[in-house]
């Protein structure tokens, strides 16, 4: 039973970090200037990280650094520099998504703990077990999980679990969202998300923010979570916001009750409408379809309107210079203004208590203001001044690197060595009257490191003859030795895995989720058929395909492994030994021995360290990421130590979400397949809803067949899953691909983009 829970707070800059610590965070997570999933936050430089970590450790708190994006091959040297910064700052852990980063940390920085980012999309017990076996001490679970699912995962022994408890929600499972990358050229997996989920779409002819999520706020339900770490989202939020949220949850964990005023404070600083997501079970009321952005605290409704004056009775104290917002039907965001004129009973006042009818003069606006419109307190001067915090003086907790010095006193000289440097002074030394005092003098002299950028960690003194050394000579020896020492980061050169024997020709793979799709294909020209199964798949259908050519694919998301496990076991029993997985949970349900496991593109492979990690895991081949650029694909395809698959055609899943978009009541829903049409900024998309899961696809499939000769791969894959292709459609597209022709209406995603 977990008694102590860790309250983990975000810090987009050092001020937010100090605020988090002051108001009771047990640990803080933050990003550096590179490789952070919140690349647009201010983030920390090396000096700030060093000072902040030193301060946090002085308080007995922890610091975790997010290196939670996927890296291209050319970025590996910068990864080493960032990890050296983390080591010098003595951070407690790094939070990672990329298997390549994990490999580098394990091999070159083993003193830093590994935490698996929520970007790794761990959404079941099997996925958590797989990452534990890979060396992760902690797993950050997907936000979509229910309390019951979390409880099941928490049964794993010797694995720390971390759950989000408050903050912004993504519509798609984190780490699986490719919308921003494919549609906008700015990858969420690279820390550059453009938040297309917050945009307005036209769905079935109606305008709606159909993917814009409310904010998560578990409040007192955090006490029910059987996990070690409770995580607050918000690395792009202000120090004020971080202070208010940390203060709120610290008080809850300390057993305080009646904290409505603290919750109201948060809503005034920044808040979309709150929800508990799926914590208590599947919940459809988690999307804010009408408005986006900060709403604030609802304090009343307009009761009367006279010219530019509105009258209402606030249920919360308000004051001049506060920010108010009014919801305007048909507008994406509420209309806001600063409260400059406030009257009570015909008199001008500076502030008004709750329950007092007030008259407010509003600025000129083009919007039609009506009775009954909700009014929100979106900014409060009182709250802005309610969360002061203390912080240390600059460089007060700066952590200098440490060295060890060895002193040797001989009858004719005294020598000092450190960091492969040596100094010595000749002299005639007589026997000391008190040898202990000589040692004290040496320790005192060499402890003086104020003029250099390191501290003395250990001093070894050898004075076998018990000789006396004047203090002036000791100071001279120290100055000479310390002047020679030049501390530099270790010159770590990452070992590159041995490249495989490059293939002479490329073979073809077809991936399907329905046998009917390949009925008109010449199977003889296909080297492998990948069949994507689900919990309703029929073994008879799979058996109609030539077994020697079949590889079974597991779905990327599987919330209930028990439902699909019988099918997996039956296929294993029937001799299907080749499998493809798109999420780590597959590693736990497939036997390690006598099973050929390959990685689909959803397990991101953008650098040789990631591929080497896959090789060490026994994976037979990897699939290049469809998010990647062609230049990196070309380099990786040549250097990969194991065979490579290149996707030349696919309807890329932009969103895979546990949020239902249907308007019906859950009890009356048949959960059967339903397609809807979407449009945003002139671009059209297709949305698939089935079994409480939503997937979104572009109307333009990805196609890279024209670049096939540029990459050095064993296999080219044409993926016809998810979309309702007919056998004729598949045959027509297939013939074009074999000829190296691009079918009409396709897109290139990030192939030719720079800096996705």
If asked whether residues 128 and 267 sit together in one domain, one would say yes
If asked whether residues 24 and 70 sit together in one domain, one would say yes
Tokens standing for 409?
A: 């006193």
If asked whether residues 473 and 513 sit together in one domain, one would say no
Within-domain flag for 113: yes
If asked whether residues 514 and 606 sit together in one domain, one would say yes
CA gap 630, 400 in Å, rounded: 43
Within-domain flag for 579: yes
Within-domain flag for 177: no
Looking at 384, 410, 428, the residue that finishes a domain is: 384
pLDDT value for 668: 81
Q: Per-residue b/e over 550-584, b at no fewer than 16 CB within 10 Å?
A: bbbbbbbbbbebeebeebbeebbeeebbbbbbbbb
SS3 528: strand
Please answer whether residues 409 and 425 qualify as being in contact, where contact means their C-beta atoms are separated by less than 8 angstroms. Answer: no
β-bridge pairing 550-553 and 578-581: parallel
Within-domain flag for 686: no
Within-domain flag for 157: yes
Question: Residue 7's closest CA among 28, 34, 30?
Answer: 28
Q: What is the DSSP letter of 627?
A: T
CA gap 119, 604 in Å, rounded: 11
| Angstrom distances, CA of residue 159 to CA of 128, 199, 393 | 8, 38, 37
Please answer whether residues 746 and 702 qualify as being in contact, where contact means their C-beta atoms are separated by less than 8 angstroms. Answer: yes
Within-domain flag for 499: no
Question: Residue 491's closest CA among 81, 86, 76?
Answer: 81
If asked whether residues 597 and 732 sit together in one domain, one would say yes
If asked whether residues 85 and 234 sit together in one domain, one would say yes
Within-domain flag for 668: no
Q: Share the mean pLDDT of the chain.
A: 96
Q: How many Å from the N-terminal Cα to the C-terminal Cα in the chain?
A: 45
**Could you report the average pLDDT of every consecutive run of 10 residues in the chain (756 residues)?**
81 98 98 91 94 98 98 97 96 98 98 98 98 98 98 97 98 97 96 95 91 97 97 97 98 97 98 96 92 95 95 97 94 94 96 97 94 96 96 94 95 95 94 96 95 93 96 96 91 91 96 96 95 95 96 97 97 97 98 93 98 97 98 97 98 97 82 93 94 95 97 98 96 97 97 91
The total number of structural domains in the chain stands at 4
Count of C-beta atoms within a 10 Å radius of residue 538: 11
Please answer whether residues 333 and 293 qualify as being in contact, where contact means their C-beta atoms are separated by less than 8 angstroms. Answer: yes
If asked whether residues 146 and 245 sit together in one domain, one would say yes
Looking at 384, 415, 448, the residue that finishes a domain is: 384
pLDDT value for 1: 43
Tokens standing for 346?
A: 């015909």
If asked whether residues 611 and 708 sit together in one domain, one would say yes
Per cent of the chain over pLDDT 70 is 100
pLDDT value for 247: 98
Helix pair angle (99-108, 608-616), 10° resolution: 80
Please answer whether residues 416 and 474 qualify as being in contact, where contact means their C-beta atoms are separated by less than 8 angstroms. Answer: no
The domain that holds 424 is classified in CATH as 3.30.420
Tokens standing for 71?
A: 């890296």
The domain that holds 637 is classified in CATH as 3.20.20.70
The pTM score is 0.94
Backbone angles phi, psi at 142, to 5 degrees: -60, 145
SS3 562: helix
CA gap 191, 193 in Å, rounded: 6
Q: Per-residue b/e over 85-115, b at no fewer than 16 CB within 10 Å?
A: bbbbbbbbbbbbbbbbbbbbbeebbeebbbb
Q: pLDDT tens across 649-694, in order? A: 999 999 999 999 888 777 788 889 999 999 999 999 999 999 999 9
If asked whether residues 105 and 243 sit together in one domain, one would say yes
pLDDT value for 3: 60
If asked whether residues 631 and 732 sit together in one domain, one would say yes
Q: Which domain holds residue 321?
A: 297-384
- Name every residue whose Cβ is closer than 8 Å to that of residue 167 and which is 6 or more positions away in sequence: 10, 215, 216, 232, 233, 234, 237, 245
Within-domain flag for 84: yes
If asked whether residues 512 and 648 sit together in one domain, one would say yes
pLDDT value for 205: 86
Please answer whether residues 253 and 2 qualify as being in contact, where contact means their C-beta atoms are separated by less than 8 angstroms. Answer: no
CA gap 529, 508 in Å, rounded: 9
Q: pLDDT tens across 132-169, in order? A: 999 999 999 999 999 999 999 999 999 999 999 999 99
If asked whether residues 713 and 601 sit together in one domain, one would say yes
């Amino acid at each position: 039973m977990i008694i102590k829970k860790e309250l983990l707070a975000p810090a987009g800059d050092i001020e937010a970090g100090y605020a988090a610590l002051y108001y009771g965070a047990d640990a803080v997570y933050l990003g550096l200037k590179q490789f952070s999933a919140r690349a647009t936050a201010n983030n920390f430089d090396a000096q700030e990280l060093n000072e902040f970590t030193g301060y946090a450790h002085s308080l007995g708190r922890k610091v975790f650094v997010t290196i939670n994006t996927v890296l291209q091959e050319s970025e590996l040297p910068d990864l080493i520099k960032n990890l050296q910064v983390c080591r010098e700052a003595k951070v407690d852990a790094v939070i990672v998504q990329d298997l390549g980063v994990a490999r580098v940390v394990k091999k070159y920085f083993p003193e830093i703990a590994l935490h698996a980012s929520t970007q790794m999309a761990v959404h079941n017990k099997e996925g958590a077990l797989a990452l534990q076996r890979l060396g992760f001490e902690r797993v950050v679970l997907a936000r979509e999980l229910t309390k019951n699912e979390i409880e099941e995962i928490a049964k794993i022994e010797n694995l720390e679990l971390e759950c989000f408890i408050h903050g912004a929600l993504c519509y798609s499972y984190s780490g699986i969202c490719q919308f921003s990358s494919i549609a906008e050229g700015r990858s969420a997996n690279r820390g550059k998300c453009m938040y297309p989920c917050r945009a307005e779409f036209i769905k079935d002819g109606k305008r709606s923010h159909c993917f814009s999520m409310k904010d998560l706020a578990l409040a007192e339900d955090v006490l029910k979570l059987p996990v070690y770490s409770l995580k607050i989202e918000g690395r792009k939020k202000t120090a004020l916001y971080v202070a208010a949220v940390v203060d709120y949850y610290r008080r809850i964990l300390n057993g305080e009750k009646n904290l409505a005023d603290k919750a109201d404070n948060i809503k005034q600083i920044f808040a979309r409408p709150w929800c508990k997501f799926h914590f208590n079970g599947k919940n459809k009321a988690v999307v804010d379809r009408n408005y986006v952005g900060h709403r604030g605290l609802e304090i009343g409704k307009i009761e009367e309107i006279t010219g530019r004056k509105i009258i209402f009775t606030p249920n919360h104290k308000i004051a001049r210079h506060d920010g108010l917002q009014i919801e305007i039907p048909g507008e994406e965001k509420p209309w806001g203004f600063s409260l400059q004129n406030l009257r009570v009973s015909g008199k001008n006042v500076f502030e008004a208590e709750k329950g007092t009818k007030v008259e407010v003069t509003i600025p000129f606006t083009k919007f039609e203001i009506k009775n009954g419109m909700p009014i929100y307190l979106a900014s409060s001067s009182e709250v802005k001044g309610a969360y002061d915090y203390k912080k240390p003086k600059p460089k007060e907790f700066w952590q200098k690197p440490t060295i060890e010095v060895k002193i040797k006193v001989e009858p004719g000289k005294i020598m000092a060595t450190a960091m492969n440097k040596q100094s010595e002074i000749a002299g005639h030394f007589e026997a000391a009257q008190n040898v202990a005092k000589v040692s004290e003098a040496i320790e005192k002299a060499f402890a003086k490191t104020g003029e250099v950028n390191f501290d003395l960690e250990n001093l070894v003194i050898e004075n076998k003859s018990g000789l006396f050394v004047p203090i002036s000579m000791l100071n001279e020896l120290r100055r000479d030795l310390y002047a020679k020492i030049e501390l530099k980061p270790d010159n770590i050169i990452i070992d590159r895995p041995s490249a495989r024997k490059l293939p002479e020709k490329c073979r073809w793979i077809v991936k399907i989720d329905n046998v009917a799709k390949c009925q008109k294909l010449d199977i003889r020209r296909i080297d492998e058929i990948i069949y994507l199964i689900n919990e309703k798949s029929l073994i008879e259908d799979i058996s109609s395909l030539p077994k020697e050519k079949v590889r079974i694919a597991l779905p990327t998301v599987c919330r209930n492994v028990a439902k699909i496990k019988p099918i997996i076991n039956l296929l294993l029993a029937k001799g299907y030994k080749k499998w493809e997985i798109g999420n780590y949970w597959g590693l736990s349900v497939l036997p390690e021995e006598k099973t050929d496991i390959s990685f689909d593109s959803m397990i991101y492979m953008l650098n040789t360290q990631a591929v080497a990690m896959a090789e060490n895991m026994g994976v037979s081949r990897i699939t290049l990421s469809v998010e990647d650029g062609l230049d990196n694909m070309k380099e990786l395809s040549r250097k990969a130590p194991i065979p490579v698959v290149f996707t030349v055609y696919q309807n890329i899943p932009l969103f895979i979400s546990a949020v239902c978009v249907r308007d019906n009541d859950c009890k009356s829903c048949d959960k059967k397949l339903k397609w809807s049409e979407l449009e945003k900024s002139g671009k059209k998309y297709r949305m698939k809803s089935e079994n409480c899961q939503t997937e979104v696809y572009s109307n333009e499939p990805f196609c890279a067949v024209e670049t096939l000769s540029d990459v050095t791969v064993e296999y080219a894959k044409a993926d016809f899953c998810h979309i309702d292709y007919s056998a004729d459609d598949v045959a027509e597209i297939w013939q074009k691909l074999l000829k190296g022709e691009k079918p009409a209406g396709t897109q290139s995603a990030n192939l030719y983009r720079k800096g996705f």
